[in-house]
């Protein structure tokens, strides 16, 4: 918008209108909008900051979660401990390799899943 309306050439009241419009569209506060405009004036552009958040490594893939959901549905939504036992048996007794990772799922996670569904 700053480029489109040649913000630097506008009058003070017109700049206020543009600021209000950006504030409304972006959801940013007045101070944030002013800070971004100041950055634009200095650098000529505004870039989205790179996210440097630390993330926990994912242990279970979407395939594992889908496997858990389908197994749980096939067994009529058993309790957490019973579902864990089914997963372990699929891996240890029947040798289904796709259950290796999901069979190590803690019962606490399964219990949380079942309370969310209720």
Ordered DSSP codes for 8-28: GGS-HHHHHHHHHHHHHHH--
Give residue 118's pLDDT.
Answer: 46
Write b or e for each residue in 100-114: b if 16 or more Cβ atoms lie within 10 A of its Cβ, otherwise e. ebbbebeeeebeebe
Give residue 8's pLDDT.
Answer: 87
Determine how many CB atoms are found less than 10 A away from the CB of residue 50.
5
Give residue 103's pLDDT.
Answer: 86
Angle at 72 between CA 71 and CA 77, to 5 degrees: 155
Give residue 114's pLDDT.
Answer: 46
Give residue 115's pLDDT.
Answer: 46
pTM (2 d.p.): 0.47
Cα separation, 84 vs 107, in Å, equals 7
- Report, as ranges of residue numbers, the positions in the chain whose pLDDT lies below 50: 114-118
């Amino acid at each position: 918008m700053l480029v489109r309306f040649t913000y630097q050439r506008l009058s003070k009241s017109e700049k206020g209108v543009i600021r209000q419009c950006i504030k409304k569209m972006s959801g940013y506060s007045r101070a944030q909008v002013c800070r971004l405009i100041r950055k634009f004036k200095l650098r000529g552009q505004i870039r989205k900051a790179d996210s440097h958040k630390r993330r926990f490594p994912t242990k279970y893939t979407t395939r594992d979660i889908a496997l858990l959901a389908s197994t749980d549905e096939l067994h009529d939504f058993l309790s957490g401990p019973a579902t864990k036992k089914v997963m372990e048996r699929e891996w240890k007794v029947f040798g289904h390799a796709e259950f290796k990772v999901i069979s190590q799922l803690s019962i606490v996670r399964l219990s949380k899943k079942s309370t969310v569904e209720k």
